[in-house]
Amino acid sequence: MQNLSRVREQIERLKIERRAIILAHNYQPGEVQDIADIVGDSLELSRAAASADCDVIVFCGVDFMAETAAILSPQKKVLLPAADACCPMAEMVTAGELVLLRERYPDAGVVCYVNTTAEVKAESDICCTSSNAVNVVNSLEQERVIFVPDRNLARYVARFTSKEILPWEGFCIVHDEYTPDQIREARRSHPEADVIVHPECRPEVIDLANHIASTSGIIRHVCSSKNREFIIGTEVGILHRIQKECPDKRCYPLSDRAVCRNMKKTDLQKVHAALLHLSPLITVPDEVAKKARAAIERMLAV
């Protein structure tokens, strides 16, 4: 394995040569977050991809994120260093299934979580992220809303709208594993800590938390809170960024097993190889990209 400091130097050199920007999700390994130009949640990275002044976007995340960047920036090369990094939740609904559901509920608006394939986005009215899902749903004129693919986020949104929410039965394989017993045990171990969980968690877990927020929302809350201790109910990769930005706070994972294996497939060697060979390249067919872009841009305008 090459010396990591040498690999980082080569990445920085190639970034300049390629006019590249590196985007990394909050769940990425610490070494990848540390070499990224921007670290954030899905909404922040979507905005960054749309506005970045560059020729190449290296997206350190999973496939649907790189697809979204390619849709928003068709003139740029979008690279996914870990070509096999997928999102199991995104694979839980297909465009064909969504078309059939729309036929069953023709009066409903369709909101798709950004954790979906480009084809599903193309069949949706508007996209959302965990941080803007409530605002997106409430922005629709329809009183009935099909929400795909995350049932837990859909049920969370339903708490804050008068609209009828029709959830698809998909879920995040990490967040859906949290249980109320884990929260109760964590509180016994850290009685002074606030519990913050992601809205992809089950309703009975959300009911026991002090705060619910997207990944970047969790970081902002921890850094701004007067409290010193926190129990964090999301993928453990976020703890790296929290420790860097809020070193005076003590954060404990709600579960040490909350690991998204796909998010951990990226490493410095793969980032270097992607920049060196301009591969793996992520592309989306023009017809699909045009329809999906409309749904994403509607989200960014909310």
- DSSP strand pairing (77-79 vs 109-113): unpaired
User: SS3 of 37, please?
Assistant: coil
Q: Is 176 exposed, middle or buried (0-12, 13-18, 19+ CB in 10 A)?
A: middle
What is 175-253's CATH superfamily? NadA-like (3.40.50.10800)
User: SS3 of 127, please?
Assistant: strand
Outline which parts of the chain fall under CATH 3.40.50.10800. Answer: 4-85+263-283, 90-171, 175-253
User: SS3 of 65, please?
Assistant: helix
- Helix pair 286-301, 63-72: axis angle to 10 deg: 90
Output the CA–CA distances (angstroms, integers) from residue 251 to 119, 131, 178, 222, 224, in the order listed.
Answer: 38, 21, 17, 9, 14
The pLDDT value recorded for residue 42 is: 83
Q: From the CB of residue 1, how many other CB atoms can be counted at a distance below 10 Å?
A: 7
Tokens 């899905």 identify what position? 42
Cα separation, 36 vs 21, whole angstroms:
8
Cα separation, 57 vs 74, whole angstroms:
11
Which tokens is 181 given?
A: 């017993």
Give 287's Cβ-side CA count (13 Å radius). Answer: 0
- What ranges in the chain are assigned the alpha helix state H? 4-18, 30-35, 42-51, 63-72, 95-104, 118-122, 133-139, 151-158, 180-189, 203-206, 215-224, 238-245, 268-277, 286-301
Rg of the chain's alpha carbons, rounded to an integer? 19
pLDDT along the chain (302 residues), means of 10: 85 97 97 97 85 95 96 95 97 98 98 97 97 96 98 98 98 98 98 98 98 95 97 98 96 97 98 98 97 95 90
Could you tell me if 276 and 14 are in contact, meaning their C-beta atoms sit under 8 angstroms apart? yes
The pLDDT value recorded for residue 47 is: 85
The pLDDT value recorded for residue 4 is: 86
Q: The domain 4-85+263-283 is classified under which CATH number: 1.10.150.120, 3.20.20.70, 3.40.50.10800, 1.10.3720.10?
A: 3.40.50.10800
CATH topology of domain 90-171: Rossmann fold (3.40.50)
Handedness of CA 151, 152, 157, 158 (dihedral sign): positive
Which tokens is 94 given?
A: 């297909």
Cα separation, 200 vs 51, whole angstroms:
28
| One-character DSSP codes across 131-149 | TTHHHHHHH-S-SEEEEES
